[in-house]
Structures are given as C-alpha cells and as structure tokens.
Amino acid sequence: MNLEHAVSWANALNNTERTRLEKENGTRWSELHRLSYFDPVRFTVIDPMHNLYLGTAKRMIQIWCECNYINEKNQLTMQELANGIVVPCGYARITKKIADGFSFMKADEWKSWCVIYSPFVLKHVLPAKNLENWILFVDACRLLTKPSINDKEIDEAHSKLQLFCTRFQTLYGKSAMTPNMHLHHHLGECVHDFGPIYAFWLFSFERYNGLLKNIETNQKGSFESTMMKRFLERIYIGSFIQSFVNHLPQFAIDFLHRISNSQDQLAALHPSSTASTFSLSDFVEYSLNPRHSALGCELLSPSVFPIKLDQRITMCKGHYECLLEFYRHAYGSHDIFGHYSNCESNQIFVNNQIEKMKRISLLGQEYSSGSYFRAYYLENNSEDKAAFPGRILYLFQHLITINETVITHTFAFVEWYSSYSLGSYQPMLNEGIELWNEPSSVLNYECIIPVHHLYSPIAIAKYRFTITSEFKRLVIPLPQKIEA
C-alpha cells in the first residue's frame, strides 16, 4: 500500500467511503489504516521453508517428470550418485528417496537436495538450458540460507530469483507458473526487514510440532494442558537438576543430566567466564581473513565449551615435528621450543568426536560425515585469498609453557586436497562444484591449523569422468555457520 492509499483510508469519513475503499483495495477497514506507514503486504512474512523447498523445489520435480527428463531408469542412476556424496552434519542425507520418485521428502531433505545434491545429480539429466535455469534457483537458495547475510547478497539472490522465474516461463510455459514464484520476489524484502531467514522460517516451529505430537496423552480431553506440561518439563529439566548442584555430588548431577538427556543445556545455563571477553567480530575475522593470524590459543566461542577431551596421548613423531614447526612459524623463536623433544612434551588431549560420528561407506572406503571443511589462505606470491578444502583427521589440545606461562592451544590436524592438475579450469564451476585431486601425503606445519581458521563445512564426493580416468574429488562449498 502506497502513501496515497493510506491517506485515502485515513480520510474516509463514513462507512460508505470505507466500503468503497474495501472493494477497491481488496481488504477490510482497520484502525491500522490510519497509520501512514502501515503496509499489510510488506508486513506479511513469507516462510522460505514452504516457499522455496516444499514449494518450487518440489514443483520442479513434478515438471521434469512430466517432461520425461526424470524417469524410473535415471532415478536409479541419480540415487547412486547421491549416495556417493558425503554430507556434513546438520544437513539431511537422501539415501533412498530419489530412487523412490522423491516420495515423502521432508523440508530439510528438499533443502539438502537443492543446495547439495541437485547440481551434481542433475548434470547429465537435464538439458543444458534447463540446468542453467535451475542453478539460478540453487544459487539463490545458497545465498538466502546463509545464517549471516549482507545487503549485497540479498540483492544478488533477488536478481537470481527474478531471472529464474522469467526463464522458467519461457522454458515451461505460463501455465506452469505458481503463486510461490510470485512470492519469491518478496523474499528479499522479508530478509531486509526481518534479518536472515533463520530468524523467521518455520523449521524450528515444525520441529516443536513434532515434539508435541510425540508426547503421550490419555486421550480423554485436556490434551493441550498435558502437552504443554510435558513440553515445559523437557525444556526446564536441565535447570531443575542444576538447582541441586550445592546439595548433590557432581557425579550425581552428571548422571541425572545424562539420563534426562539434558547435558547440552549446561553451557547455556552456566556460560563460561570467558564469555564476557569473547569477541565475535575477531572470531569471525580469523576464519574470513587469512591475514588475521591465529595461534590457536585465542578465545573460542562460548557455544563450543566445554570441549569433550579424551585422555592424554603421545603424538607420533612425524605429527609432533609438524606441530613444532608450526610453533616456530607462529611465535618466531627456535629457542623457546628447543627443549620440546621428550615424550612428556608431545602429549596431547584428543577430541575423537570425529571418529565417533556416524561413518558411511563411500566406494569401498570409510569416511566421517563431519570432518570435511575449507579454510582461507593467501595464494602463493599473491595477496589474493583462496579457499582450500581439507579433511580433519583429529582435533586436539596441546599445552606448552612460554615465559613460565602455560598456554593451551586448540588445533586440528588435517590433510589437504591438491589443486586440480589442469590449473584454473573447473568444468563444474557453473554448478557451484569445485574439482580437486586426492589428498596430499606431505607432512608439514600447514597440516596444523588453529580451529579458529576453520571456515565452513563442505560436501564431498569421488568422481571420474570416464571409467579409465583417475578419481577426483568434487567439493560442494556450503554456508558458514557462526554460533556465539
């Protein structure tokens, strides 16, 4: 509603004039119309979960099936390709549903389909112009689903959605257009007005609906009251147990948290004493800007405390030499670390969370779904930064004494993937997929990386263009998630 219409509503003197305005504008009279800034269209929030994933993404599959681009035969091939993709934690895996005709797909599976699976799986299924148009939608989804987004990225996503809708009408006809596609043009406004879509999309709302639905009731009435009581019990059980911290031994408190599945609430209930000195801007800068050097002993986000560590173990000689080399480059002193050569010095605390994660089989080899990432580095002889993919072998903490002060460093020991042998040529770059060689076996100080430099997760797959060619790694970059 523009200012002229708002003035007309405000100046309506009687019910006759208001009735006329109701017919002209398609909305009933409200006292809110007296507000010059009242815009019922702009104040209506569009849910991206239903609009993008359960809306257009699902509709596109129906259209491609009608056009016979997708059929029972190539669905099996698509499923085989999808099963070869290692998906990071926080993203749903699609194990059988593509082969079953995309049946009973949930919203988080449609999200994974859009931003991870579809650019690779549809490469040889859709005609080039149809795939190019779909990638516009995928790129917009990748931008909009970032937990942190700026105005430039919002405008870029809006432009891509506009172009997608325009080309969609040319490719599939006007009759295939849906109201959801019109609403795509208002998503940018919603993000501008209300922030990143994590602030208002319905994933969390639907999750709570699922929790409420699974609460047992006696089916005799007043089930709303029963549901709310059980819901509140689950929400506050951690706080209730913690209230006995001065009356029960710590092992009893820990036991109660474990059996009530409330352990994850401890960090929120009792923030670390370092929370007040933690700088989110510095923390973000470490991962975004390789010129912003990190030693590994800087403050971590309070959301990652406490780090669950296993017993202290002795680091193997080759890895420990990499660690010493890292320290010498980081601190610039050989004298400080000259005496760090005995077994006591190379003992580390290992976090084997990566090893405990659910492992999946990929082409006969085992891979952990949560261990792949990328990090920014300055390119050789250049001030340009580039993102390099790698795999975390393990996370660890190491204590050293510098100037009589014990310093705790938190590192990841990684293996890096080698650049593609054909230089800068990337045959799938238009689909947002990078091509890399197998991991390098070289051990040096670059295998040690402070966890502050870890930028974002990636999805990864093995792939070869022909039966006789060597396997390459397909890397699908995903948005960075920042939690403070």
Which pLDDT score is estimated for 352? 54
Which pLDDT score is estimated for 369? 57
Both tokens of 146, joined, read 């970032």
Instruction: Tell me: do 261 and 284 sit in the same domain.
Output: no
User: What's the rounded Cα separation, in Å, for the pair 278 and 411?
Assistant: 18
Instruction: Tell me: do 165 and 259 sit in the same domain.
Output: no
Which pLDDT score is estimated for 339? 57
Which pLDDT score is estimated for 458? 94
The 8 Å CB, 24+ separation contacts for 441-446 are 441/415, 443/318, 443/319, 443/321, 443/322, 444/322, 444/325, 445/322, 445/323, 445/325, 445/326, 445/328, 445/329, 446/416
Confirm if 472 and 437 have CB atoms less than 8 A apart.
yes
Instruction: Please count the other Cβ atoms lying within 10 Å of the Cβ belonging to residue 158.
Output: 21
Confirm if 449 and 375 have CB atoms less than 8 A apart.
yes
Give, in order, the Cα–Cα distances in Å from 41 to each of 1, 3, 187, 286, 347.
7, 13, 12, 41, 62
295 assigned to some structural domain = yes
93 assigned to some structural domain = yes
Instruction: Tell me: do 18 and 81 sit in the same domain.
Output: no
User: What's the rounded Cα separation, in Å, for the pair 48 and 111?
Assistant: 10
196 assigned to some structural domain = yes
Instruction: Tell me: do 295 and 415 sit in the same domain.
Output: yes
Instruction: Tell me: do 286 and 433 sit in the same domain.
Output: yes
Which pLDDT score is estimated for 266? 45
- The count of domains in the chain is 4
Query: Which of 253, 201, 208, 200 is CA-nearest to residue 234?
Result: 208
181 assigned to some structural domain = yes
Instruction: Tell me: do 110 and 30 sit in the same domain.
Output: no
Full domain range(s) for residue 404: 275-477
Q: Which residues, including other chains, have CB under 8 Å from residue 453's CB and lie 6 or more apart?
A: 286, 287, 290, 294, 375, 376
Instruction: Tell me: do 252 and 376 sit in the same domain.
Output: no
Instruction: Tell me: do 323 and 398 sit in the same domain.
Output: yes
Confirm if 217 and 231 have CB atoms less than 8 A apart.
no
Give, in order, the Cα–Cα distances in Å from 5 to each of 2, 15, 30, 36, 428.
6, 16, 13, 9, 50
Which pLDDT score is estimated for 50? 95
40 assigned to some structural domain = no
User: What's the rounded Cα separation, in Å, for the pair 164 and 172?
Assistant: 12
Both tokens of 265, joined, read 């609430």
431 assigned to some structural domain = yes
Instruction: Tell me: do 370 and 398 sit in the same domain.
Output: yes
Which residue ranges of the chain lie beneath pLDDT 70? 1-10, 13, 217-222, 262-276, 303-309, 333-345, 351-370, 380-382, 420-425, 483-484
Instruction: Tell me: do 377 and 284 sit in the same domain.
Output: yes
Both tokens of 377, joined, read 């580095």
Instruction: Tell me: do 86 and 191 sit in the same domain.
Output: yes
Task: Give the residues across from 54 on adjacent strands.
Answer: none
209 assigned to some structural domain = no
Confirm if 390 and 416 have CB atoms less than 8 A apart.
yes
Both tokens of 297, joined, read 């002993």
483 assigned to some structural domain = no
Which residue type is seen at 442? V
Instruction: Tell me: do 261 and 305 sit in the same domain.
Output: no
